[in-house]
Amino acid sequence: MRQAMVAGNWKMHGLHARNEELLAALLPSLQALPDRDVEVVVCPPSIYLESVGRVLAALDGDIHLGAQNVCSQAGQGAYTGEVSVEMLRDVGCTHVILGHSERRTLFAETDEAVADKLRVALAAGLTPIVCVGEQLAEREAGETEAVVERQLTAVLAACPSDQLANMVLAYEPVWAIGTGLTATPDQAQEVHQFIRTRIARVDATMAGLVRILYGGSVKAANAKELFAMPDVDGGLIGGASLTTEFTAIVAAAGAH
Ligand code: PEP
């Protein structure tokens, strides 16, 4: 049985006052959810990890802290502007999003760069949430599986098979991110099943344990249907994680 997960990706949103306001509105409703069996992660911009982490820590580990990116070099060094896995651990992070499509497309992150980050994240004991997904033109050209297969192959090469279940994958069709367009539950399930089957070629037992999140315009109104699909284990949420709608999405994940 895989525990559902819902992770909120705040992207480059927030300021101290706004973060405090959002957390004050969000956390009581999340805590009030009855019998919540959902791993919940909040991923603010790196400069706010420590302050948001302090608020979350007061909740006894009930809600986890995640980063949106990390340097592929571990330790200390001359890497201006970068943040290491050790630094993330030091401020209380337990999770890190890797290979988000915005990093791949806007910051030219390659499959190899994502794989390097995955190696250091796993070695540091962080739970990586690794994003894969196709662009609209790739879907329209019938290349969805080929693109996801290519991205996944790099990920699987970087992840020792005994650590597969420590990693979380997120299928995020790029055309659905921040656009209001959502994959239908069937479209999501098709790719999630493809991902799980690909992992099973490495290790069938681990494939049954790996959580695969769906991301792309998930809202309270569509979360339930998406999360009801057999290979969808929760969601990676952008826009709706900046509102109290996030709580309804977590509740939807807990209903399965
Ligand atoms: C995301 O940024 O990972 C995402 C899924 O965004 P949104 O929910 O806004 O589409």
Question: What CATH number is associated with residue 68?
Answer: 3.20.20.70
What is the average pLDDT across 237-242? 98
Whether 222 maps to a domain, the answer reads no
Least confident of 30-34, 67-71, 98-102, 199-203: 30-34
User: For the chain, what is the mean pLDDT?
Assistant: 96
| Separate counts of helices (H) and strands (E) for the chain | 11, 8
The pLDDT assigned to 59 comes to 81
121 lies in some domain: yes
pLDDT score for 35:
83
Ligand 1 pocket, CB under 6 A: 9, 11, 100, 172, 177-178, 215-218, 236-240
Question: Does residue 90 lie in a domain region?
Answer: yes
To test ligand 1's pocket by mutation, which of 13, 217, 249, 250 has the most ligand atoms within 8 angstroms of CB?
A: 217
Percentage, residues of the chain above pLDDT 70: 100
pLDDT in tens, 174-220: 999 989 889 999 999 999 999 999 999 999 999 999 999 999 999 99
pLDDT attached to residue 14 = 97
CB distance 240 to 218 below 8 Å = yes
What pLDDT score does 256 carry?
Answer: 72
Who wins on pLDDT, 40 or 255? 40
Atom of ligand 1 nearest to the CA of 177: 10
At 47-79, the pLDDT tens digits run 999 999 999 998 876 899 999 999 999 999 999
Total domains in the fold of the chain:
1
Q: Are strands 168-171 and 211-215 parallel, antiparallel or unpaired?
A: parallel
Q: Which of 39, 109, 172, 245 is catalytic?
A: 172
Q: How confident is the model at residue 1 (pLDDT cuts 50, 70, 90)?
A: confident
Q: Say if residues 168 and 64 touch (Cβ distance below 8 Å).
A: no
Q: Is the dihedral of CA 168, 174, 176, 178 positive or negative?
A: positive
Domain residues for 191? 4-217+231-242
